[in-house]
Amino acid sequence: MKLSLRRSIPTDLEIFYLNQTDEEANHMAAFTPKDPFNKKAYLEKWTKLLDREDIHMQTITVKDQVIGCVVKFVMEGDAEITYAISKEFWGQGITSEALKEFLKIEKGRPIFGRVTFDNYASQKVLEKAGFEKIGIDRGFANARNKEIEESIYRLSK
C-alpha cells in the first residue's frame, strides 16, 4: 500500500484524536493522558505543538486519506519518537514503512523509542527501522491504571 508523509496541519488532529480514543490502541500505547476522551484538551495541546521547532510531526496518508502520524519530540533532553495509525490499517506494514520514511527526513540522532512490554507489533516496527533495545524502565500507565514495564530503544545512525 502506497503511503505518503506530509507536514501535519490542524485538520489532521481530528483523525489523530480518534486514533487515540480507540480502546485497544489506547491500551497498547498505555502512557496516555488521564482522560483520552477530552477532545478539547487534546486539540488545544496538539495545536500548540504543531508549530514548535523541537517537534517534528508528519501526517501519514494512504490514497490521500489521513490515517495517522509520526512525531519526533524532545523529552528530558532526548529526542524521542512516537507514531500511531488508524486501527483499520494495523498489520499491513504501514507503520514500519512510515517510520522508515520519516527517519530519512528526521536526521537528528540518537533518537529513542519507548514501547510497552506487551506491544510486540510496535517493538517490531522499531526493530525494522534499525532501533536497538537498550534498556527497560517502569512507569505509571494511565490507560492501564497501574505501573508497567516499557522497553527503551535507540537509533544511533
* CATH of residue 124: 3.40.630.30
Domain that holds residue 66: 3-155
Q: Evaluate whether 62 touches 3 at the Cβ level (below 8 Å).
A: yes
Rg over alpha carbons for the chain, rounded to the nearest Å, is 15
Task: Report residue 46 as a C-alpha cell.
Answer: 496538539
Task: Report residue 30 as a C-alpha cell.
Answer: 498505555
Low-confidence ranges of the chain (pLDDT < 50): none
Instruction: Give the count of domains, the chain.
Output: 1
The candidate with the shortest Cα–Cα distance to 114, out of 91, 129, 128, 131, is: 131
Q: Evaluate whether 31 touches 150 at the Cβ level (below 8 Å).
A: yes
Q: What angle do CA 42, 146, 150 make, to 5 degrees?
A: 80
Give the count of beta carbons closer than 10 Å to the beta carbon of residue 71.
Answer: 20
pLDDT at 115: 95
pLDDT at 33: 80
Query: HEC states along 31-81?
Result: CCCCCCCCHHHHHHHHHHHCCCCCCEEEEEEECCEEEEEEEEEEECCEEEE
Q: Evaluate whether 148 touches 141 at the Cβ level (below 8 Å).
A: yes
pLDDT at 82: 94
